[in-house]
Amino acid sequence: MIALDELDLKQRLARLPERDRRAMSAYLLKLKHESKSGRRHISKLMSEMDAGKKTSLSQFADSLGHD
């Protein structure tokens, strides 16, 4: 994406109401998780958990990109 297009998009998103920004954030997170690298990352985390490595909920949320 061209830098000016990205800046324009960010500015438009910043002007949205909170509810719409949250919806866009959820959509972008969904796209991230559906990507090949996102699925690999989640699969790695799940494998580590299956192997007995414990992760706190806050660490898991941080690794998924949740605030």
Residues 52 and 27 grouped into a single domain: no
Domain with 48 in it: 36-67
- Find where tokens 């949250």 sit: 22
Residues 28 and 3 grouped into a single domain: yes
Please report the pLDDT score of residue 11 as a whole number. Answer: 93
Positions of the chain with pLDDT under 50: none
Residues 67 and 41 grouped into a single domain: yes
How many Cα atoms sit within 13 Å of 47 on the Cβ side? 6
Token digits of residue 67: 């605030």
Residues 27 and 9 grouped into a single domain: yes
Q: How many domains does the chain have?
A: 2
